[in-house]
Chains A and B, each alone.
Chain A
Amino acid sequence: MTMKASNSLDVPAVPVPTRGHVVRTPTVKIRPSRGLLHLDLGALWQYRELLVFLVWRDTKVRYKQAVIGAGWAVFQPLISMLLFTAIFSYLAKLPSDGVPYPLFAYAGLLPWNFIAQATSRSGTSLVGESHLISKVYFPRLIIPLAAAATPAVDLLCSLLMMIPLMLWFGMTPGWQILLFPIFLVMALLAALAVSLWFSALHVKFRDVGHIIPFFVQFWMFASPVVYPISLIPEKWRALYSLNPVVGVVEGFRWTLLGQRAPSLEMMLPSLAIVLLLFVSGVIYFKRMERTFADVI
């Protein structure tokens, strides 16, 4: 009784006949969860610092004992850009919709690298942290969130590299740059949507761990990263834009490089799919979360 400042505040101001019969609200209520969606955003908010710590840990560990450290976040897309320019522009002569190919590729690689990394890391994150899951409680969503947020740090670093590149090619962004954050969020949501599904499935089916690398490879070819969307025949466009990355990459190119605006018929399916996958991913994740510790 003596040191319970927090609980004595919860005691209602009702005359209490005897001690021990005070109606108190439990700090923690443990019940078997029922129903489809029990988000418990409060718990997620309560553990927000852990999310930050986990992102910080992964970022730190990744660049530890590496001579150029976080420089890799910038070098990797730069090297890919040069490679892609050599192969797809110089050798394969792919068009780039009137933008210098290196810039075109870099603007596509920014979101793609992020989504690919987030998917492969976050998709296997729960099993990777199985030790935590069986030993300590915190909202499990934190784990895939943190794993997806870590490549976002890289994305921000490589985004900075975009500035000297654009200066070099003498390009200035137009007013559309103001809409850029929308597509950044869309990229985040797209990565999370897929990761939530993968990570929750991976707990039960380890096959997912083997599928993800192929999936990511296939996904890149199904996205306008190295080639422009104009290469896709008109009649296939609608189907093509069901790939959420299509909307994201087009959005990045439009807002950063001022290419022609992506058509609404293409943006809407991408956006719808992202939202659908994300919401269903959260629901599936929360449903499976109950048994993670038992199954993992």
Chain B
Amino acid sequence: MAEIAISARHVSKQYVIAAVNHDTLRDRFAHACRSVFGEPATSEEGPRTFHALNDVSFEVTEGEVLGIIGHNGAGKSTLLKVLSRITEPSGGEIDIYGRVTSLLEVGTGFHAELTGRENIYLNAAMLGMRKVDIDRRLEEIVEFSGTQQFIDTPVKRYSSGMYVRLAFSVAAHLDPEILIVDEVLSVGDGAFQKKCLGKMDEVRRDGRTVILVSHDLPVVANLCQRAILLRRGNIVGDGRPQQIIEQYMSEAFTGGEASLADRTDRYTKHELMVQAIGFLNEKLEPVQPALSGQHLVVRVHYACHVRKVFENMRVMVVLNRDERTACILSTDVVDRQPLTLEGTGFVDFHIPHLPLCGGRYFLHVAIENDTLTQDWVQYAAELQVLDGDYYGTGKMYPHDGWRGKGMFVDHSWKLERVD
């Protein structure tokens, strides 16, 4: 058994909601006056507290890579801030054994007017590095960032890519024993992300302890040995990443957030509406995340709210990634059979080999005909895809550098010699 690196016992954090942001002297004064005159405080002024973390206990052993996942507002960021000492817990205790560095973003404290070199010193000092250590590693940091030529230029003249590279480079050379990382990996372009992941992997192989908070489930699945799932400030799952991710995804689509049928942020005629979207495998069992190459069924539930038969309709699902359309499924293009909708029911789209590579996709769904849109919901559902063996060759594709890019296309090749 390895030794304990972090031990958190009964950590809780409460926020007083009413006090935040409305605290001007005038409010205070008004409040004081009212209390003087004996007017009872209205319910809104009572100390409404919000429990961001609720009796959270866990241990991390040395060399472990722990992922923390959960929905927005589940307490991930609060936990990270408490662990990083940015904010104090309201209760409980945490013991950390070893030098810690928290990276809640890259390039904290960068000043636009200062040169790259000056910013390295400033940023590294902020992250707790001593000047002698910075002196020693300066060369390496500059080298890694690839900004040698511009190192004495103010960073305000840097391209955004250079800026991020330099910032990450500092972060990558901190050498902590325990690293606490927020979604820093999600910044920058693909090549940069790859570099980050590579560095993370290196940190892991060095036997250092890492706590990683991420929305990027494939990253958690690939990098972490263990994952914790938070829900409303409580730990509701702790175990192997794959298992925890499944728990997270199943939760995601069985309530929690507003269900699709209840959503009002849609364009609709209120006559015929999309009720829900489901992802199933070929046995029609729910899946999430999906795997590239797998047989995936996208089920669109609909309901007619008027007694009417809708003829010549089409159901369309647009899959998006990074604001760009990846592909479109539509009932009217694949065959000539007209679609008639009435009552309630569902339409299943079968994708025999899911051609999407690993990542996070959003689905937008429409029910319409050529002249009229009945219902159109953007960001109706989220689909997580993990890289899978699409071609059945036992090889993971795309390779690292291309991971998360493009789509899978069935193809073959033939070599001919001409000489």
Contacts and interface: CB of A to CB of B under 8 A. Distances in A.
Contacts of A49: 125, 130-131
Contacts of A169: none
Contact of A24 (B3, B88, B111): B3
Interface string A27-67: 11111110000000000000101100110010011001100
A32 B131 CA distance: 31
Given A19-B1, A205-B25, A30 B86 contact: no
Interface stretch (B100-108, B242-250, B328-336, B389-397): B100-108
B346 interface: no
A26 B28 CA distance: 41
A87 interface: no
Contacts of A204: 23
Interface residues of B, number: 56
A26 B100 CA distance: 11
Nearest to B21: A295
A50 B129 CA distance: 9
B87 A293 contact: yes
Given A19-B1, A57-B111, A57-B122, A294 B87 contact: yes
B109 interface: yes
Given A57-B111, A57-B122, A132-B109, A207 B25 contact: yes
Contacts of B102: 136-137
B331 to A, nearest CB: 48
Given A137-B85, A137-B86, A28 B100 contact: yes
Nearest to A204: B23
Interface residues of A, number: 45
B3 A3 contact: no
Contact of B97 (A7, A61, A205, A293): A7
Contacts of A291: 87-88
Contact of B89 (A1, A2, A30, A206): A30
The CB with the most chain B CB atoms within 10 A, among A50, A205, A206, is that of: A50
A17 interface: no
Contacts of B154: 64
Interface string A117-158: 000000000000001111111100000000000000000000
A30 B85 contact: yes
Given A24-B3, A30-B93, A61-B114, A3 B177 contact: yes
Given A26-B97, A49-B131, A1 B3 contact: yes
B391 to A, nearest CB: 40
B24 A207 contact: yes
A30 B94 contact: yes
Contacts of B108: 131-132, 135-136
B58 interface: no
Interface in B69-125: 81-100, 102, 104-105, 108-109, 111, 113-114, 118, 121-122, 125
A27 B20 contact: no
A24 B19 CA distance: 40
B2 A1 contact: yes
A291 B102 CA distance: 19
Given A20-B3, A136-B109, A293-B86, A26 B96 contact: yes
A30 B96 contact: yes
Given A4-B98, A20-B3, A136 B93 contact: no
Nearest to A138: B126
B113 A64 contact: yes
A259 to B, nearest CB: 41
24 contacts: A1-B2, A3-B177, A4-B98, A6-B177, A19-B3, A29-B93, A29-B95, A30-B85, A32-B88, A32-B91, A50-B126, A53-B122, A60-B118, A133-B86, A134-B81, A134-B86, A135-B108, A136-B109, A137-B102, A205-B25, A290-B87, A293-B87, A294-B15, A295-B19
Sorted nearest first, the 3 A-B pairs with minimum C-beta distance are A26-B95, A30-B94, A28-B96
